[in-house]
Amino acid sequence: MHNKHLSWVALGTFWYATLQWLFWLILGAVWLMARINVSDLVAKLIIGIIIAIMLVAPIVTYSCFTYSVDENGVTIREGLFVRKVTEIPYERLQTVQHQQWFFLKPFHLEQLTLETAGKSDAEGHLPAVPVRVGQLIEHYRTAARTAQPQPAVSASVDGVTSQAQPATTRATAVTTPTDLADVERQYQLNWHDLNVYALSSLGIVPIVVALWWLYDKAQQLMPEAMLADIGARISAIAGLVLIAIAGLIIVLSFLVSYLNIVQKYYHFTLTKRGQTLTMTHGYFQRNEVTAPLKRLQAVVFKQNVIRQWLKLSTVQALAASQAGQANVNHQLLLVPVLKTARAFAVTAPFIPWLPSQAPHLTMVPPRLRWYFVRNSLLVGAFGLGILAVPLFIWLPTKAWPLFAAVSVVVLLWAWLQGRYASRHSGAALLRDQHCLAVETASWFTRELVIVPRSKIQSLETSQTYWLKRRQSAHLIIDLRTGDDRKTVTVRYLDLATIRTIQAWYLPADAAE
Amino acid sequence: MEEQLPAAIKRVWLLSALISGVIGIGVTGGLWLAHQWFNWWPWLVWAGLGLTILDVVVELGLIPYRYRFWRYQITTDAVYIKRGVIFQREIAIPISRIQNVTLSAGPLLQLKALKAVAVETAASSYDIEGVTPAVADRLRHQIIALAKEARDAQ
């Protein structure tokens, strides 16, 4: 396939990107013009230049951007002054992400993000290409992975001569784009679960914003109302109206954030085909991520205190490297939400090494739990100490009651958090699956990590001199996620538990 | 068969502590000049001097403990590192997870004919602070051979 330009729709993407960096330029120009007296001509000139950049830059970016797909890999060429050529061989491809906004659907276009195992910016990003290109890449990639050279597909993306596989699947492209391997197993998030997920993810942020707005307005209106000497009744009505408006805003922001989550995870589907997992979701923007199973480093079952109370869990995967935005904190979402009781039963069939039942963990023994509370209180006290300095300098008269109130809240919070963490820290060996399970907790969120022995990069224990005498230590597991490391630390485990894990990790040296 | 670092490493640490002392005194001198010429606060000079002395004393004082508690071991399966006095760490790195072994030597290590070994996994890197060149080469070959063996066996 020859070098091809992106679809003209990509012009929109580039235009948007140009606007994003131009925004600051415009802001700067406006600020400058407001300060310095510039002549009319200069002002017009500046505006003219900005408009010219706005019109020309995307076109230049567009015309310099070409890509080609062949049986060896994907090549992307971009840049006007600095020509940049990115070569992505299929063997190096880690995850492929397909994103399709609803307005791209009628044109059979999508946005592709290709990510490799490389450390730096070896990532390929194609803002708008025909769906067939994505299929072609998946096809070649599967062919490269199975290591059996597929019969040469006459894969011209111009669509003129293509009769082979990628082109014939075109009709069903939008729903099932990956070819070759059959669907082995599929799980779709049901409406009820999605609903609960959306409701329990509602952020506190919009509420705070709304309350702030209310407070701001109240401050503005109150003195005015008094100054104007309007009767108490009218101001009462104004207050009612204000409360009603604030209520409306809160309800609206709830609704918007609820609908946003629903549309984002709409029809969330986890699919296993051969040795790959595919996650698709989204209503306005259809999002598809494909990742090879052998790249998964660990699976994380996560729940915050609210979800724990609702008996719901989120299942994520750590992958050696992932593409694009589908990841929250470098994690690949496997199932946004499902009943905790069913979490293992549902996900186990997708991942060969995952147990089908929740592991029975050895928790931090009760005699060591108070360390968590102590540490949490110490952190809280330290924060209070830092807070105290400016408080007593600038508000010496009101400092004591304020400081006392804040202290009570902070220390109570710290105590609860330490208590929570102490009761959700533990580890277990899953000898049949050759996996280690560890649970940790922070900020009222607990994480159960299941990691195969072969994916633990190194195992570390850490103990202070005093902790040694109490027969306890911290266990630190080093994992790889993305291009980086992730360490999972389980604190204050019983030493006997740790020795068992060490012996399992390196059995040959265990006798020593 | 846990191995200790060569005794010469103590001299390296000693020199490094003295060098940081010299740098500290240099900074303190600079602060004194700034006080003389630009009227900087005089307490900055005392703070600089105090910190320098504290740093050197702590570094020197810790050397015997650091030496006594630093251990490494290489078996057919893994590299083990033990270190730390108050915060004691034990690290186990299976040979099959090792991606790279890097030998390096700064001027101080070169002076004592020692080399630092960095053992890298896909996630992070661990240092063996100083070994004799013969041991370093042996380690490197051993680790690479074992890593290759482990990878071929998979």
The string of DSSP codes covering A243-283 is: HHHHHHHHHHHHHHHHHHHHHHTTT-EEEEETTEEEEEE-S
Strand bridging mode A296-304 / A445-452:
antiparallel
Q: Name residue A52's amino acid.
A: A
Cβ–Cβ of B122/A458 closer than 8 Å?
Answer: no
pLDDT, chain A, mean: 77
Going from the C-alpha of A357 to that of each of A140, A268, A293, A360, A450, the distances in angstroms are 37, 23, 20, 9, 12
- Which one of B72, B73, B89, B126 makes the best mutation probe of the A interface by having the most chain A beta carbons within 10 Å? B89
Burial class (CB in 10 A: 0-12, 13-18, 19+), A51: exposed
Distance from CA of B88 to the nearest CA of A (A): 5
Going from the C-alpha of A313 to that of each of A348, A349, A445, A448, the distances in angstroms are 14, 17, 11, 10
Total domains in chain A come to 4
Q: Which candidate from A462, A502, A506 shows the least CB-CB separation from B87?
A: A462
Average pLDDT of the segment spanning A113-125:
65
pLDDT (tens digit, 9 = 90+) per residue, A305-349? 878 888 888 898 887 754 444 444 456 788 888 888 888 888 888
Least confident of A298-307, A368-377, A385-394: A385-394
Q: Which candidate from A462, A478, A508 shows the least CB-CB separation from B124?
A: A478
Give yes or no: residues A308 and A442 share one domain: yes
Letter string b/e over residues A464-488, b meaning 16 or more CB atoms within 10 A of that residue's CB? beebeeeebbbbbbbbbbbbebbeb
- What is the percentage of chain B residues whose pLDDT exceeds 90? 12
Give yes or no: residues A335 and A467 share one domain: yes
The string of DSSP codes covering A342-409 is: HHHHHHGGGSTT--SS----EEPPGGGTHHHHHHHHHHHHHHHHHHHHHHHHH-TTTHHHHHHHHHHH
Least confident of A85-89, A336-340, A350-354, A479-483: A479-483
Instruction: For residue B42, give the H/E element and its range.
Output: none
Q: Which residues of chain A from 294 to 323 reach within 8 Å of chain B, CB to CB?
A: 320
Contact A72, A259 (CB under 8 A): no
pLDDT score, position A452: 92
Distance CA A6, CA A107 (A): 13
For residue B99, give its domain range: 72-153
Examine residue A138 and state whether it is found in any structural domain, yes or no: yes
Give yes or no: residues B117 and B133 share one domain: yes
Give yes or no: residues B80 and B142 share one domain: yes
pLDDT score, position B50: 92
Give yes or no: residues B55 and B89 share one domain: no
Give yes or no: residues A400 and A461 share one domain: no
Examine residue A378 and state whether it is found in any structural domain, yes or no: yes
Chain A residues within an 8 Å CB radius of B124:
457-458, 478, 485
pLDDT: is B68 or A327 the higher one? Answer: B68
pLDDT score, position A148: 44
Of A123, A147, A178, the position where a domain reaches its end is A178
Average pLDDT of the segment spanning B95-108:
80
Average pLDDT of the segment spanning A431-447:
87
Q: Which candidate from B86, B87, B121 shows the least CB-CB separation from A478?
A: B121
Letter string b/e over residues B43-58, b meaning 16 or more CB atoms within 10 A of that residue's CB? ebbeebbeebeeebee
- Which one of B87, B120, B125, B128 makes the best mutation probe of the A interface by having the most chain A beta carbons within 10 Å? B87
Contact A463, A494 (CB under 8 A): no
For residue A377, give its domain range: 366-411
pLDDT at residue B23 tops 90: yes
Contact A115, A324 (CB under 8 A): yes
* Residue A485 touches partner B, C-beta closer than 8 Å: yes
Examine residue A486 and state whether it is found in any structural domain, yes or no: yes
Distance CA A181, CA A186 (A): 13
pLDDT (tens digit, 9 = 90+) per residue, A79-116? 888 888 878 888 777 778 888 888 887 888 888 888 76
Give yes or no: residues B58 and B26 share one domain: yes
Bridge partners, A481 (sequence order): A484
* Residue B88 touches partner A, C-beta closer than 8 Å: yes
Distance from CA of B145 to the nearest CA of A (A): 18
Handedness of CA A405, A409, A410, A414 (dihedral sign): positive
Give yes or no: residues B95 and B82 share one domain: yes
Bridge partners, A4 (sequence order): A67
pLDDT score, position A208: 60
Q: How confident is the model at residue B51 (pLDDT cuts 50, 70, 90)?
A: very high
* Residue B149 touches partner A, C-beta closer than 8 Å: no
| CB pairs < 8 Å spanning A and B | 64
- Which one of B68, B69, B93 makes the best mutation probe of the A interface by having the most chain A beta carbons within 10 Å? B93
Residue identified by tokens 């069903």 is: A172
- What is the percentage of chain B residues whose pLDDT exceeds 70? 95
Longest dimension (CA), chain B: 70
Please calculate the CA angle A366-A368-A374 and round it to the nearest 5 degrees: 115
* Residue B118 touches partner A, C-beta closer than 8 Å: no
Distance CA A334, CA A350 (A): 10
Least confident of A1-5, A295-299, B18-22: A1-5
Average pLDDT of the segment spanning A139-166:
49
* Phi–psi pair at A123, nearest 5 degrees: -90, 140
Give yes or no: residues A339 and A458 share one domain: yes
Chain A residues within an 8 Å CB radius of B121:
457-458, 478, 480
Of A411, A445, A471, the position where a domain reaches its end is A411
Examine residue A285 and state whether it is found in any structural domain, yes or no: no
Cβ–Cβ of A480/B122 closer than 8 Å?
Answer: yes
**R_g of chain B computed on alpha carbons:** 20
Least confident of A145-154, A181-190, A273-282, B100-109: A145-154
Of A264, A284, A314, the position where a domain reaches its end is A264
Examine residue A419 and state whether it is found in any structural domain, yes or no: no
CA nearest B78: which of A499, A459, A485, A473? A459
Cβ–Cβ of A508/B122 closer than 8 Å?
Answer: no
Closest-CA residue of chain A to B81: A460
Letter string b/e over residues A435-453, b meaning 16 or more CB atoms within 10 A of that residue's CB? bbbbbbbeebbbbbbbbbb
pLDDT score, position B154: 53
Give yes or no: residues A83 and A153 share one domain: yes
Going from the C-alpha of A298 to that of each of A18, A119, A172, A301, A331, the distances in angstroms are 39, 20, 33, 10, 10
Cβ–Cβ of B76/A508 closer than 8 Å?
Answer: yes
pLDDT at residue A153 tops 70: no
- Residue A466's Cβ-side half-sphere holds a number of Cα atoms within 13 Å equal to 2
Cβ–Cβ of A478/B88 closer than 8 Å?
Answer: no
Give yes or no: residues A371 and A490 share one domain: no
Average pLDDT of the segment spanning B36-63:
89
Please calculate the CA angle B44-B45-B46 and round it to the nearest 5 degrees: 90
* Residue A460 touches partner B, C-beta closer than 8 Å: yes
Of B19, B47, B68, the position where a domain reaches its end is B68
Tell me: ipTM over 0.95.
no
Give yes or no: residues A315 and A430 share one domain: yes
Contact A177, A273 (CB under 8 A): no
Give yes or no: residues A394 and A328 share one domain: no
The string of DSSP codes covering A125-177 is: EEEEEEHHHHHHHHHHHHHHHHTSPPPPP---TTSSS--SHHHHGGGGTTT--
Total domains in chain B come to 2
Bridge partners, A449 (sequence order): A300, A438
* Residue B86 touches partner A, C-beta closer than 8 Å: yes
Give yes or no: residues A91 and A61 share one domain: yes
- Which one of B62, B88, B154 makes the best mutation probe of the A interface by having the most chain A beta carbons within 10 Å? B88
CA nearest B150: which of B67, B77, B61? B77
pLDDT (tens digit, 9 = 90+) per residue, A357-366? 888 888 888 8
Cβ–Cβ of B123/A479 closer than 8 Å?
Answer: yes
Strand bridging mode A93-101 / A285-292:
antiparallel
pLDDT at residue A143 tops 80: no
Give yes or no: residues A84 and A136 share one domain: yes
pLDDT (tens digit, 9 = 90+) per residue, A219-245? 565 555 555 555 565 566 667 777 787
Give yes or no: residues B34 and B93 share one domain: no
- Distance separating the N- and C-terminal Cα atoms of chain A: 60
* Residue A154 touches partner B, C-beta closer than 8 Å: no
Give yes or no: residues B39 and B88 share one domain: no
Distance CA B62, CA B86 (A): 11
